[in-house]
Amino acid sequence: MTPPLPPFSPILEIRLEAARRLGCEVELLDPETGYLVELRHGADGSRRRVLQGGISPLNDAMAFLLAGDKHHTAHLLHRAGFRVPRGARCLKPGWFPEEEFSHHTGLEPAQQLATELGFPLVVKPNRGSRGKAISVAHDAATLEAAVRDVWQRDYLALVQEVIPGIDVRLDFLDDDYLLGYARRPVRLVGDGEHTLGVLLQREDQRFAGPEFEQRLAHEPLWPRELGLDAVLPEGEVLDFATPILNLNRLCLAEPVQPLPAPWRAAAQRIAKVLNLRHYGIDFKVESLAAGPEAATVIEVNASPSVVQMARMGHRERALAAEEKVVRAILGLPG
């Protein structure tokens, strides 16, 4: 009988389960956090690789750094002919010497963009993941507050136009489509009987337990006056529609399968621009039927995670994707 997995980081959980299925030995090298592990394969353990967190080792260092820099990624993709959001950079004052990059420093770039485009605007860190510190500014006051909030964790805040449409995420390994999904916001309809906690769990079992409750306490979309034990009157709607959809927040997703050929070709072109092997791309588009030429590339991820898809009931599909990734990491025939 296979022994149970030790307490690995949740980001690594699916990848390591896939590695076990492929006959790999998995050794936990940092028991305190579970973020450092070694995979070994073969009778002599000759195929081995150390993994740190969810970082994909399949991309070279420069490709990883570029994909992690949202502004420079957008610059390269725009240069290659892809649609990207219009935006501005706001450097944190004092980060660089006063005479350097003065035209990008402070709140003025954000204010100029607001004058040109109006509100709402999306504000986000230049680097980061999981939707942290991303918000929507609806006026000058919330714009300033959002930029200053980003400066608490990143020296560079990006302010961008809001792109309408659905959110589509597509994950690839080289030219192989791993999985994808279309995101949609949670929408609860009261029945006068069941609590918000019950309604949320009916939507998705991820919306239960102490970890979710802790995240919900910091979710700006959640009405502060309502607890999970509140009951909505029959027919009353609680809609969490927002330009920012992230599976770590009040968001659901439906798998995209199969992937139309034009979308596959567009993703492969993006990978070549950024020199990526393992990657996920976030698009905004009216529908997949519209084709990638009508889409805007929002972000590119150089270490896509399938954890949330597994938690939403697509575990076998997530494991199949991760098995391909592990084979590539260790150079195993596939």
HEC string for 133-195 = CCEEECCHHHHHHHHHHHHCCCCEEEEEECCCCEEEEEEEECCEEEEEEEEEECEEECCCCCE
Q: Residue 318's pLDDT is what? A: 95
The predicted model gives 143-170 an average pLDDT of: 96
Q: Where is pLDDT greater, at 47 or 12? A: 47
Q: Residue 11's pLDDT is what? A: 73
The predicted model gives 212-235 an average pLDDT of: 91
The pTM of the whole model exceeds 0.75: yes
Tokens of 205: 């079992």
Q: Residue 4's pLDDT is what? A: 53
Average pLDDT, the chain: 92
The predicted model gives 48-66 an average pLDDT of: 95
Task: Reply yes or no on domain 86-162 having CATH 3.30.470.20.
Answer: no
Query: Could you tell me the pLDDT band of residue 329, with boundaries at 50, 70 and 90?
Result: very high
* CA dihedral sign of residues 149, 97, 63, 325: negative
The predicted model gives 189-198 an average pLDDT of: 96
Q: Residue 131's pLDDT is what? A: 63
Q: Residue 102's pLDDT is what? A: 80
At 34, which amino acid appears?
G
Query: Could you tell me the pLDDT band of residue 15, with boundaries at 50, 70 and 90?
Result: very high
Domain 56-83+163-186+240-304: give its CATH code. 3.30.470.20
Q: Residue 2's pLDDT is what? A: 47
The predicted model gives 219-232 an average pLDDT of: 92
Q: Provide the residue ranges of all domains of the chain, joining segments of one domain with +.
A: 10-54+315-330, 56-83+163-186+240-304, 86-162, 188-239
